[in-house]
A and B are shown apart, each in its own frame.
Chain A
Amino acid sequence: MVTQMSNKKKEYYHSVYLETDKCVGCTKCVRICPTEAIRVREGKAKIDSTRCIDCGECINTCPVNAIRIISDSLDELKKYKYKLAIISASYAGQFAEDIGLEKALKALFHLGFDDIAEQAMITDITADIIRDYIRTHPKIRPILSSNCPAIVRLVQVRFPSLLSNLLHIESPISMLAKYYRDNITIEEKLKPEEIGIFLIVPSASQVTAVHQPEGTYKHLHDGAIAISDIYCKVMDIQKDLDKDNRKINSYANGLSWAVAGQEAQEIAADDIRTLAISGIHNVIDILSNIESHRLDQYDYIELRSCSQGCVGGSLNVENPFVAENRILNMVRSSKKLDIDNNYFFKLYREGYFDVIPLEPRSIMELDKDIKKAIGLMKKVKETLNKLPGLDCGVCGSPTCKALAEDIAKGNATLEDCIIRTRKLKS
C-alpha cells in the first residue's frame, strides 16, 4: 500500500490526456510526437507519462479530438478570498476589433477576479533582466530562453547536457505571480494561501507548469485556465461589458512576445547576438547543433514549442496568423510604457527571481548499465535490418527504429510490422 502511494506521488503531472473511447488508432499522433511518447497498441493510442512533455503537438494533429487538455475551471476561484488573473500576451490576439483588448480584460472582473495583471506589463523589464543575465554569465553560450515550459521539459528529457544553458530565472508570468502574491498579502492583509493566482494560458505545457513546476522555490500559481474557456465566457457576457465603464490600463506595447521571434529581436544588442526558433521539431534540430557546440557564436537563443510562438498554442481560439497580425498591430499603434523598472530590477539582482538548478529527466538511455545498453542496441540494429525502413507508423511505433527499440525491450514483436509480414507471405 505504502509503496503504491509513494509511486503515485512520483508520477509526473500531465495536462495532456487521451480519451481512449474516442481514439480510432490512426497513429497520426504517434508519428508527430517529438519525444516518441505515444504508441498505438491493440487499436488505441497510449501516452508514456515519463516521455510526454505536454507540448500539445498530438492535440493539434488528432483528427477525432481524442487527445485533450485538462485545465482548471473557474469554479476553483471559490476557494480563495482574493483572486488575481495573470494574463498571457496571446490572449489579446483572440478577440476581433469589435470586442478589443480593453473589453476582453474587463471581462475577467465579471468572471470573478478581483484584479488582473498582464504579462505584457513586464516585457521591457524582462528584456533588461535577460540582457543582464547574458552579460553576467559570459561562460555560458548560447543561453537558451526558458520562457516556454515545453522547451524546458524537452531539454530535461532529450538534451540534459544543455540544462545549464537554460536561463535560470523565473519566467515573466511567474515573476508577476511572485511579486503580486507578496504585495497582495501586505496590502489586503491576507494570508498567502487566501490569495488565488490564476494564469490565463494559451498552451497545455503552461497548465502543466502550474501543477508540476520545474526549478521554482515556492508555490507560485493556484491554477491555469485555458484562454479558450475564458473566450466562451466573454462571448456570453458581451452586453454586460458594454455597460461597464471601469477604467483599464492595458499594456499593448508589451504584447509582442506572444509572437515568435520578437523576444530575440528585443533582447539583441550590439554585444548580444540572438537567434529565434519556433516549432518543436525545428527546436530539436537546433538543440542538437547546440549540443555539438556548433552555435556557440550566439549569445541568446529564443526557443518556442509552438510554430508561431504562444499565439500558436492549442488553447487559443483564433488562427495563429490572424492573432499574430492583431497583436503586432496593437504593438505598433501603442506607446512605450513609462514604468519604473528599477524596483523589479533590484529584486532580480537580489536573487528574488532565482530558480533551483534544473534537473534532468532523461528518457534516452536504453539501460542504466552500459553493458546492458550495448546489448540492447545490438538487438535494435539486428532487428532494424529486418524492417522495411519506411517509417510508416502502421505498427503503432513512430519509426522502424522505434519499433526495433520496442521489440528489444520486449514491448512489441516483429509481427507488428504489417509490411514485413505481407512481404514474407508473398
Chain B
Amino acid sequence: MKVCEAAVSNSLHEHWAVPDEVKDGREFILNPPEPELVLDYEIESRNYAKAGKASSDIKLTLKQLGVDPSVLRKIAIACYEAEINVVAHSKGGKMHANIYDDRVLVILEDEGPGIEDVEKAMLPGFSTADELAREMGFGAGLGLPNIKKNCDAMHISSRLGYKTRLNFFVLFDKLINGNTNEQ
C-alpha cells in the first residue's frame, strides 16, 4: 500500500512559483508552521451565485487585522481567482486561510477531476472552462497566472483523475503598524 501511495504522489504534476527574494517560500508551503488563526470554507461546485463569498470573508477579516489596503487588494484578487477555479472546474472543495502575523497562506483542495497539464494551465489564455463558466464572464484563461502575479509564493499539484491542491501566500510587508502613540 505504502509503495503505491508514494508512486501516486510522485506522478502528480507540480508547478512552483517562488521568487528568489522569498527565501522561505518552498519550506513554508511544504511545512507550514502553526497559524495564529484559521478560516475554513466549503466551496460548492457550479454555484456561481455564491462564488466569491469565501474570498470576501477572508478580505474582510484581513482588513480588520489592519493589512495594508494595496496588499489586501492583491490577496482579494488571488483568493477570488482561486475560489472561482474550484467553483468552475471542480466537483467542489475546501478553502482555508492560515493567518500569521506576517502573511496569509491560502490552501485550496478540491475533489477532482484534476488538471491534465499543470504547466499549460499556468499559461495566460489557456482555459478549459465550459460554456456556463464563459457565459458568467469567466474562463478567459487568466486564473492561475493571475494568482501567480498577485502572490509572493505559490505551489500547485494535480493530475487528471486526482485532487488539485493549490497553496499560495501573500506577505503583509506593508503593515499599518503601531508605534503611533506620540501625537
- Name B's A-contacting residues (CB within 8 A): 36-37, 52, 55-56, 59, 61, 63-67, 69-70, 72-73, 76-77, 80, 99, 101, 172, 175-178, 180
Residue A11 at the B interface, CB < 8 A? no
Contact A161 B37 (CB under 8 A): no
Contact A368 B76 (CB under 8 A): no
Q: How far apart are the CA atoms of A182 and B63 in the complex, in Å?
A: 43
Contact A377 B80 (CB under 8 A): no
Residue A347 at the B interface, CB < 8 A? no
Known: A364-B64, A368-B66. A293 touches B77 (CB 8 A): yes
Identify 29 residue pairs between A and B in the complex whose beta-carbon atoms are under 8 Å apart, listed by A's number: A160-B69, A161-B69, A161-B70, A161-B72, A291-B72, A291-B76, A292-B59, A292-B76, A365-B64, A365-B176, A366-B65, A366-B66, A367-B66, A368-B66, A368-B178, A368-B180, A369-B66, A370-B67, A370-B101, A370-B172, A370-B175, A370-B177, A371-B101, A373-B66, A374-B37, A374-B99, A374-B101, A377-B61, A378-B36
- CB < 8 Å: which of B66, B73, B180 contacts A291? B73
Select from chain B the residue with minimum beta-carbon distance to A163.
B69
Q: How far apart are the CA atoms of A37 and B69 in the complex, in Å?
A: 22
Residue A294 at the B interface, CB < 8 A? yes
- Name A's B-contacting residues (CB within 8 A): 160-161, 288, 291-294, 360, 364-374, 377-378, 381
Known: A161-B73, A294-B80, A369-B177. A374 touches B65 (CB 8 A): yes
Nearest 7 A/B pairs, CB to CB: A161-B69, A292-B76, A365-B66, A369-B178, A373-B65, A368-B178, A364-B63
How many whole Å from B174's CB to the nearest CB in chain A?
Answer: 12
Select from chain A the residue with minimum beta-carbon distance to B77.
A293
Contact B59 A381 (CB under 8 A): no
Contact B70 A365 (CB under 8 A): no
Q: How far apart are the CA atoms of A225 and B70 in the complex, in Å?
A: 39
How many whole Å from B143's CB to the nearest CB in chain A?
Answer: 13
Select from chain B the residue with minimum beta-carbon distance to A294.
B80
Inter-chain contacts of B61 with A (CB < 8 A): 377
Select from chain B the residue with minimum beta-carbon distance to A289.
B52
Inter-chain contacts of A370 with B (CB < 8 A): 65-67, 101, 172, 175, 177
Q: How far apart are the CA atoms of A293 and B147 in the complex, in Å?
A: 13
Select the residue from A160, A365, A369, A381 with max chain B CB neighbours within 10 A.
A369
